[in-house]
Amino acid sequence: MATELNCAKCGACAVVCPVFRIDEREVLTARGKMHLLTTTLAEQPSATFEDLFSRCLLCGACEQVCPRHLPITDIISEARSTFSSFYGPNGLKKAAACTALSHPGLLAGLVKAGISLQRFQSLPLHSGLRFKLGLLEEKSLSAAPQESNAPPPQEEQLTASLSYFSGCVARHIQPSIAEATQTLLSKSNLPPAQIPADQCCCGLAAWSAGKREQARELARKNILAFSAPSLTDAPIITSCASCSSHLLAYPTLFSEHDPWHGKAVAFADRVREFTSFFDNKLPASPCIDTPENPKHPKQRIFYHDPCHLRFKDKGMSTPRSLLQKTGVHILEP
């Protein structure tokens, strides 16, 4: 850890830190946290110490500009692993969320309960929960192609050409995302992706909260879920930037001597981030403004860069390239 904390104290992290922009306290920057971890305060973290570390978004902006390429998000996650179970101002909510995400059945039950609250208008008019529950969709992902583990009817389909990691959002909260992904595959002249029923949360929430072993256990479950003979060599696409980022990082969760490390490497090699995958597969829309079709109006849209894409190679270019193929005009800030 001492080598990892060899911070240059240049302050580049402060310039890009979104938290520091809101609350201009030096201790909230990556430089401030790296310093705290070298002091005796880190040996027995106080509630104040834990609160300061809970305010990091783990967006990765600081890592991108760090001249010494420190693994800052990993260092902060490791520090959090030593904290009390309910650290930070929203400790109880965080612990409850990690519990729900690690148990798909529980998460599905909570989603159904939320839909019931929404349907029967059981919440006060001005409740903030109304906005959150507004994201929930009643359609189940069980209707998606090949959701079950039952063998396909035709022998030539025994080996899948694609598999799909739906993630918690597309599987439980907004199944229309999974449906749209399958539609894009069809428009790209590709077969429907197989969706292993045993997959679970990618584990990013657990890893971010410092629950390292829980994150490893979720990784093991997903590696096994996608290791069925019919899926062994199939690329794994996912429509969530956070999920794809963490799935690609599975090898870092296990030491090189751990028997799961090799399995994690093989799994990560199959992961395909959504925009990169479809940018190479989806043809341009015939409605794009071209010399042959100069009067077709372009729809103007704002696009928000997910942190887990923005600070990765081509993470800003491939989504824009894919959107431009649909004929839209992207409005940049």
Structure tokens at 81: 């692993």
Please tell me the chain's helix, strand, coil percentages from 3-state DSSP, rounded to the nearest 5: 50, 5, 45
CA 53 to chain CA centroid, Å, is 21
| Residue position matching structure tokens 């704002």 | 302
Q: What is the pTM of this model?
A: 0.81
Please provide the size of the chain in residues. Answer: 333
How many other CB atoms are there within 10 angstroms of residue 71's CB atom?
13
Residues 216-253 pLDDT 10s: 999 999 999 999 887 778 899 999 999 999 999 999 99
What Å distances lie between residue 137 and 124, 129, 174, 224, 293, CA to CA? 20, 15, 5, 28, 38
Residue 103 has pLDDT above 50, yes or no: yes
Structure tokens at 39: 């002091």
The H-or-E segment that residue 149 falls in is: none
How many other CB atoms are there within 10 angstroms of residue 265's CB atom?
13
Lowest mean pLDDT among 24-33, 173-182, 193-202, 291-300: 291-300
Confidence of residue 280 (pLDDT cuts 50, 70, 90): confident
- What is the phi/psi pair of residue 127, to 5°? -70, 135
* Residue 95, C-beta contacts closer than 8 angstroms, at least 6 positions apart: 85, 86, 209
Dist CA 143 CA 140 (whole Å)? 6
What torsion, rounded to 10 degrees, do the Cα atoms 239, 245, 248, 251 define?
Answer: -140
- Return the closest-CA partner of residue 108 out of 166, 194, 43: 166
Question: Are 271 and 199 in contact, with CB atoms under 8 Å apart?
Answer: no
Question: Are 181 and 272 in contact, with CB atoms under 8 Å apart?
Answer: no
Question: Are 298 and 48 in contact, with CB atoms under 8 Å apart?
Answer: no
Residues 65-75 pLDDT 10s: 999 999 999 99
How many other CB atoms are there within 10 angstroms of residue 31's CB atom?
24
Residues 310-321 pLDDT 10s: 887 678 888 988
